[in-house]
A and B are shown apart, each in its own frame.
Chain A
């Protein structure tokens, strides 16, 4: 962040002595659209959070609806469905984080060893592509691929005599599918940051290690991995804030009533029960719970990242 450096004349005086340029009114004008839009579309809805403490009825509005205090939250933690949904969210998010990090890191390490340039370039071209496709498109593709009767994956498994698997209809397989497809979509793109860190390692370290007779495995273990630790720590701590974000887009485009038991997450629940079901107050309460936990984790994550790795966003 830029600090204000007082000029010679104002040293020793109060900071309100800054004399701004005559045309600084233009700056306020340029800032206005962004501030107004943020005020309207982010801050005004924050005010709507009072709904979480009301029994909101659309015809009574926010001012006229009955105040119920923490009843919605009590209900949230007593209603079996919503408790289940919170656990589902945590489970899916943690599994994604765990397998995602391992896959991304391993891919980056192996990619770093590729010497042939054309392999490097063509592999990168293909593995980055899924990141840019939307879950609507990918949902369509996976529903086609994973179809128990005609899908390519089950036809392939059939060659080995494996019975068709209901990837999107069985609760446990759905978990596998959600984690697997997310890792598939993001491992390539996620590896960019690790590859950049790998490119920054001093080659002299490897030369010295080779002279000392260290093999590839020892070099990876003693040079490459330790050099990546800061990047890994930053990525992990920053994704802490994501543990209540299990991926609305993905799940909404893949799930169906058969897998609500393990596949329903907070965001899909809010959408279905709150918005479509018209339980505005209850939906807002769950959303608020998620936002607050998310906020605590983001702030905690940034602090941790700053402490451990000196990472600062501003």
Chain B
């Protein structure tokens, strides 16, 4: 018995160390980039920087933020995220409310057809090129609506919200209907306030998704009028192995500035992360709830 306990303790200790090691592997790349962005050019150039800034300075952040294109793209990203969040929540919630009512007395005619309509849209699409041609034909090219409208309806989130609506107690809305409320009132004054947890979860996911999305910015927007992630993509796109880049690497600050730009791009997500972490596990649980 003594032996079992000893081996158990040994296992626990090794396992704990291994888990902490994994955690370190996940966070150290980020720490390294932070260190580079804050280090002096000389320290970066000789390759001494590991996980702690050497010759601490904020020069690269000043340079990165001094670029008017960066601020411009941040502004566009913020606009796009806010629009997508507000309109996305509204459109998906309204549709989820209707679908949660089914095809019966309180619901709509053609319920099954509508469900099929959305499921097919989730499973199949025309692909990158026809969608691109359509967006340009609609005159949305280089407009913020090209970044917002095509991805506004999200069938996954629609289903998630619908499942949550379905799980709300039937008696509440029956009482409201009895008192003469109509569908819109039940939706806006009862369902939405009762669904704050799921709305927060979906909202956070939407924000992360919109902030990180870069391809639409690349193909639908022109020149410097791009969201932040697309702008970042365009400045990090220089391939590492390009022969001429060896000389460029010798030019001192490029790597620090690049690191600073990367971190500025990741900053909103990093700031949101503590809140995100609390919600995403819940989101998965909500998504798994089925009737």
A230 contacts the other chain (CB 8 A) = no
Q: Which residues of A contact B266 (CB under 8 A)?
A: 133-134, 137
CB of A306, distance to nearest CB on chain B (Å): 13
Q: Using A110-B19, A169-B241, A299-B123 as known contacts, say yes or no to A196 and B284 having CB atoms under 8 A apart.
A: yes
Q: Which residues of B contact A152 (CB under 8 A)?
A: 32, 50
A162 contacts the other chain (CB 8 A) = no
Task: Please state if A129 and B15 are interface contacts (CB–CB under 8 Å).
Answer: no
Q: Which residues of B contact A274 (CB under 8 A)?
A: 128-129
Task: Please state if A42 and B125 are interface contacts (CB–CB under 8 Å).
Answer: yes
A100 contacts the other chain (CB 8 A) = no
What total of chain A residues lie within 8 Å of the partner, measured CB to CB?
103
Q: Which residues of A contact B240 (CB under 8 A)?
A: 143, 146-148, 168-169, 256
Residue B184 contacts which of A7, A30, A130, A299 (CB distance < 8 angstroms)?
A30
CB of B123, distance to nearest CB on chain A (Å): 6
Instruction: Give the CA-CA distance A18 to B104 in the complex, in Å.
Output: 7
B139 contacts the other chain (CB 8 A) = no
Q: Which residues of A contact B236 (CB under 8 A)?
A: 136, 139-140, 143, 253
Instruction: Give the CA-CA distance A252 to B36 in the complex, in Å.
Output: 24
Q: Which residues of B contact A125 (CB under 8 A)?
A: 23, 277
A107 contacts the other chain (CB 8 A) = yes
Task: Please state if B19 and A42 are interface contacts (CB–CB under 8 Å).
Answer: no
Instruction: Give the CA-CA distance A193 to B285 in the complex, in Å.
Output: 9
- A interface majority secondary structure: helix
A116 contacts the other chain (CB 8 A) = yes
Task: Please state if B229 and A136 are interface contacts (CB–CB under 8 Å).
Answer: yes
The chain A residue sitting closest to B232, CB to CB, is A136
Residue A136 contacts which of B27, B134, B212 (CB distance < 8 angstroms)?
B212
Within 8 A of B (CB), among A274-296: 274-275, 280, 283-284, 287-288, 290-291, 295
Task: Name which of B60-68, B78-86, B90-98 contacts chain A.
Answer: B90-98
The chain A residue sitting closest to B177, CB to CB, is A21
Q: Using A34-B95, A155-B47 as known contacts, say yes or no to A119 and B22 having CB atoms under 8 A apart.
A: no
Task: Please state if B108 and A18 are interface contacts (CB–CB under 8 Å).
Answer: no
CB of A64, distance to nearest CB on chain B (Å): 14
Chain B residues at the A interface, C-beta cutoff of 8 Å: 4, 8, 11-12, 15-16, 18-20, 22-27, 29-30, 32-33, 36, 47, 50, 90-92, 94-95, 97-99, 101-109, 114-115, 117-119, 121, 123-134, 138, 149-153, 158-159, 166, 177, 182-184, 187, 208, 211-215, 219, 229-230, 232-233, 236, 239-242, 246, 249, 255, 258-259, 261-262, 265-266, 269, 273, 276-277, 280-281, 284-285, 288, 290-291
User: What are 14 A-B contacts defined by CB distance under 8 Å?
Assistant: A1-B115, A18-B103, A23-B184, A31-B95, A31-B114, A41-B150, A49-B126, A119-B19, A132-B208, A132-B273, A168-B240, A169-B241, A188-B26, A193-B284
Given A23-B184, A116-B16, A169-B240: 6 more A-B contacts, CB < 8 Å: A48-B126, A126-B27, A137-B232, A140-B259, A144-B36, A287-B126
